[in-house]
Amino acid sequence: MPDRLKPGHDAHRGGWTRRSVLGALCATGLAGSRAIAATATTAPLRFGLTPVFLDSDTDLLAALERYLSVQLARPVVLVKRRSYQEITTLLLTGQLDAAWICGFPYVQFRSQLALVAVPVYRGQPLYQSYVIVHEGDPAAALGDLRGQVHAFSDPDSNSGFLVTRYLLATMKETPASFFRRSFFTYGHRNVVRAVASGLAQSGSVDGYVWDVMTEIEPDLVVRTRVLHRSKLLGFPPVACQAARLGTPLVRDLREALVGMPEDATGREMLRLLRLDGFAVSEPSLFDGIAAMYDHVRTQS
Amino acid sequence: MRWPTGPGAWPLTAKVPLLVAGLMATVGSAISYSVLTRLATDQEAQLRQLAAAHLGSLAVALEPHLARQDIWETFDVLDHARRVATFASARLLVVTLPDGSVVAASDPMEFPVGAPLPEDLRTRLHASGNLVVDADHDLAWSHRPIGTESAPLGHIFAELDMGPFMAVRREVLATLIAVNAGVTLLLAAIGYAVVRRLLRPLCVLNDYVERVRTGAVEPIPARFIAEEGGEFGRLFRRFNAMAQAVAEREALAARLADEEKLSLLGRLASGMAHEVNNPLGGMLTVVDTLKRHGSDDAVRQRSAALLERGLRGIGNVVRAALVAYKEPQGATAMAPEDLDDLRFLISHEAQRRRIDLVWQNRLEDSMAVDGAAVRQMALNLLLNACRASPPGATVTMTAEALDDGLRLTIQDEGPGIPAAMTVLLRSKAAAPLPRGGRGLGLWTVARLLDRVGGEVKASIGPQGGTTVTLSIPFVEGRRTYAAA
C-alpha cells in the first residue's frame, strides 16, 4: 500500500474521521465507496482533459476517475471543454489543479506552467504528428495538398495545427494561402472522421491518436492514409500551475500517475490508453515544439 | 368433359361459383384501391409532418453553427442525424448558404464543401410546397430555411427515403390480394358445394328421365325420396307416379302387340283354311281313285305324287304359321327361307285381291338379325301393301344383305301412305297408341323397329305407290342406346 494511504500520511490533511478510515480500508477494492466517503471531507481534484487522447471513450474516463480518486483518496472531477484554449485558461487561472494538455500550450505558457508527468508511448515520452489524406487520394507529398479543404484539430494543438503550420511556414505558406479552405474540428478523432468521410481532403492529426484508432476503430481509419509523419516531439504532458508544483496534491498526483503500472486499475488504464506509463520529465523535452513555435511566430 | 361454348349453356355448378368469384374480385379490387389510395394520402401527410419535425429540429441545432459557418459542427450534426436515421428520416442532408454553396452535407464526397448545389436539387429547393414525392424511385425531398426571413442563414435540404412507406404499401397490397383471393376462392368453393347440393335431386331426376328415354322405366328409389323433403320430394313422387303410368302403358302396348299378332292370325286363318281346303278336295279325289284303281301301278304312282304335293302345300302353310307365332322373340339369326315362308301366309290375301306378288329374296346366308321381329314387320307391311293396292296391282318385296345389316323394301301401287301413318311409322316407341285400332299394324312395326335399332324410310312415287324401306342392323352392330 502506498505511503499516502497509511493513516499517518492522511493525518496532515485535516485529521481522521470515521468515514475516512472506512474509506481507506475499502480503497483497494471498493473505489466507489471510498470516493463517496471521501466526498464529505476532502476537496476534489479538478483535473482538466483535452482531446490529446481519445477523450470520447467513456469507459476510459470512468476508469481514470476511479483510479485517481482511489489513489488520491479524494473525489476527482474530470473537466472537459470544447477547446484546448478553454482548458489552458482554466488551468492558468487556478480553476484546475492539473490538466492533460498539449505540448503547444505548455510551450506557449512555459513560464506559468510546470510538468507533472509525461506519458511514455512505445518506450519514450515522444510522439509524432501525422498529415493524413483520404485512402484514395493520390497525393504523394504535402505540396500536393494545395488548394484542398484541410481539417485541423485545434488552434492550440501541436500535432493538430502547429506542426502543419510550421511545415507550411517552411514553404513560405500559411494555411489560408495554401489550402482552399480549412476548419477546426476540436478533436483528433474528428479530424479522422472529416478526412474519412471526404468532408476534408486532408487533416492534421495526433499520430498517437491515429495509431490507437487503427486498433479500436479500424473501419474508420482504413479510409485514411498517412501522408507525412513529423519528427518525434514531446508527448502531450500533464501540467499544473508552476506555483502548485510542490503541493502535496500535485505530488500525490504525480505519484499516482507514475505509479500506474504497479496497480491493477492503473494497468487497465494504461492498457486502454495504449501507454507504457507516465514519467517525470524535464521541460527541455518540448524544445522541439518551442523551436517550431518560434519559427512560425517569426514568419508571421 | 367438354364444355358448351356459350356461358348461357354452362352448368349452374360452374356459373354460380364464377359469378361469386367475379363479384368478390370486383368488390375486392374496389376495396383494395380505396385502402391503398387512403394509405398513400395518409403516408404523405405523415411524411410531411415527420419531415417538418425532423428538419425543424435540425434547423434549430444547426443555426448557431451556420451563423459561424462552422463546417465541422454542421457536418457533425448532419452526420449524427443520418446515423440515427429512423423511419422515413433523411438519407441525405445538405446545408447550404443563401448563395447556394454547400456548407456541409451528410455525404461530403457527393456534395463537397464550398461547391454549388447541383442545379436539379437547386430547382427542388425553390419548388412550391415543402414536400416533393418521386414514387418511382421511392424518394421525397423537403427543405427548410435556417435563420429568419430578414436575416437568412441558409437552407437545409433533405432527401427522404420513401422505401419503408412503399414497403408498407406493397405489404398491404400483398395482404389485400392474398385475403381477397382466399375469400374469393372460399366463397366460390362454398357456392359450388351449395349449388351442387341443391342440384343433386335434379341430377337424380335427370338420370331417371334419361333411363325412361332409353326405354328402361324405373321409379326413383325410396332412399332418394326420403332424403329430399319439400318440392323435390313431391317432384320425385310425381315422377314415380308417371313412371308407373308409363310402365303400365308399356305393358299394355306389349299386350296390344300380342293381340295384334293374334288378330293377324285370325285374319290369316280363313286364308290358311282355303290353302288347306284346296288341296284337300284334290287329295280326297286322289284317295278315291286309289281305292278304285290302286292296283294300277301308274295310277298309284301319280296319286302318291299328287298326295305328296298336296300334303307338302298344307305342311308349308302350317309351318309358316308355327314359325310366325311360336318362335320365341329375341332370336339372333334368320335364314333366307324364314323370310320366304311369309309368301305362304299372304298368298291367300294376295290372290283374294288379285295382287301380283313379286318376291325378290336376295339373301344367301343366315343373318344376325331378330328373325321373329323382321318377319312380323315384313308381314304387317306386306298385308298393308296388299290392302292398299287396287286389284291387279303389283306388290314387290325385296330383301338385300348390306355390309352392316339387312334391307327390306316393300313397294305397292296404292294411292300413297297418309302423312299421319308415315309419322306413326317413324315414331319409334315414343308414339302414342293409335286410337280406334287404325294404324295398329304400323305402330307395331315402329315399336319392333325401335327394338331392333332399325331405321325406316317411306316415300310416295310420282305416280302414287308407296315404297317403305327398313334398314335393320346386325345384332352386334346395334346402336348402344338401343342395346341398353
Residue B121 · residue B94 · CB < 8 Å? yes
Per-chain mean pLDDT for chain A:
87
R_g over Cα of chain A: 20
pTM of this structure: 0.58
Q: What pLDDT, on the 0 to 100 scale, is given for residue B14?
A: 82
Test A199 with B113 for CB contact under 8 angstroms: yes
Q: For A87-98, how does the pLDDT look when each residue is reduced to its tens digit (9 = 90+)?
A: 999 999 999 999
Q: Give residue A12's pLDDT band: very low, low, confident or very high (50, 70, 90).
A: very low
Return the domain boundaries, chain B: 7-171, 329-484
Among A116-125, A221-230, B22-31, B422-431, which stretch is predicted with the lowest mean pLDDT?
Answer: B422-431
Count of CA atoms in the C-beta half-sphere (13 A) of A104 = 25
The pLDDT of B144-152, averaged and rounded, is 87
Q: Nearest 5°: phi and psi at B335?
A: -85, 155
Q: How far apart are CA A5 and CA B93, in angstroms?
A: 55
The pLDDT of A126-153, averaged and rounded, is 95
Question: Is pLDDT of A222 > 60?
Answer: yes
Please list every residue in chain B whose beta carbon sits closer than 8 Å to the beta carbon of residue A184: 72
Question: Is pLDDT of B89 > 70?
Answer: no
Q: Give residue A33's pLDDT band: very low, low, confident or very high (50, 70, 90).
A: very low
Task: For residue A197, give the chain B residue with the closest CA.
Answer: B108
The pLDDT of B146-150, averaged and rounded, is 86
Q: For B242-299, how does the pLDDT look when each residue is reduced to its tens digit (9 = 90+)?
A: 888 888 887 887 787 777 777 776 766 766 676 677 678 778 888 888 888 888 888 8
Question: Is pLDDT of B483 > 70?
Answer: no
Q: What pLDDT, on the 0 to 100 scale, is given for residue B147?
A: 87
Phi-psi region of B439 (alpha: psi -120 to 50; beta: other; left: phi over 0): left
Residue among A180, A185, A198 minimizing CB distance to B72: A185
Please list every residue in chain A whose beta carbon sits closer than 8 Å to the beta carbon of residue B76: 190
Among A147-151, A198-202, B268-272, B478-482, which stretch is predicted with the lowest mean pLDDT?
Answer: B478-482
Q: At what angle do helices A163-170 and A287-299 cross, to 10 degrees?
A: 50
Residue among B72, B107, B112 minimizing CB distance to A194: B72
Give span(s): CATH 3.40.190.10, chain A. 3-120+235-281, 129-230
Residue A238, min C-alpha distance to chain B (Å): 28
Q: How distant, in Å, are the alpha carbons of A240, B209, B235 from that of B214?
A: 123, 9, 21
| H-type alpha helices, chain A | 7-10, 18-26, 31-39, 58-72, 84-92, 103-108, 163-170, 175-178, 188-197, 207-216, 218-221, 248-258, 264-273, 287-299
| CATH class, range A129-230 | alpha beta
Residue scoring higher pLDDT (A163 or A50): A163
Terminal alpha carbon distance of chain A = 53
Q: How far apart are CA B399 and CA B410, in angstroms?
A: 9
What's the CATH fold of domain A3-120+235-281?
Answer: D-Maltodextrin-Binding Protein; domain 2 (3.40.190)
Question: Is pLDDT of B323 > 70?
Answer: no
Q: For B338-368, how does the pLDDT look when each residue is reduced to its tens digit (9 = 90+)?
A: 888 788 778 878 888 889 989 999 988 888 8
Q: What pLDDT, on the 0 to 100 scale, is given for residue B479?
A: 38
Q: Confirm or reject contact between A205 and chain B (CB < 8 A).
A: no
CATH (residue range B7-171) = 3.30.450.20
Question: Is pLDDT of A75 > 70?
Answer: yes
Q: Give residue B430's pLDDT band: very low, low, confident or very high (50, 70, 90).
A: low
Question: Is pLDDT of A171 > 90?
Answer: yes
- Residue B111, SS3? coil
Residue A23 · residue A37 · CB < 8 Å? yes
Q: How far apart are CA B134 and CA B153, in angstroms?
A: 28
Residue scoring higher pLDDT (B222 or A104): A104
Counting residues of chain B whose pLDDT is more than 70, the rounded percentage is 88
Residue among B70, B76, B113 minimizing CB distance to A149: B113
Task: For residue A186, give the chain B residue with the closest CA.
Answer: B72
Terminal alpha carbon distance of chain B = 22
Q: What pLDDT, on the 0 to 100 scale, is given for residue B296?
A: 86
The pLDDT of A96-112, averaged and rounded, is 95
Question: Is pLDDT of A295 > 60?
Answer: yes
Question: Is pLDDT of A6 > 60?
Answer: no
Test B72 with A190 for CB contact under 8 angstroms: yes
Q: Give residue B74's pLDDT band: very low, low, confident or very high (50, 70, 90).
A: very high
Residue scoring higher pLDDT (A63 or A163): A163
| CATH class, range B329-484 | alpha beta
Q: Nearest 5°: phi and psi at B225?
A: -65, -40
Test A197 with B75 for CB contact under 8 angstroms: yes
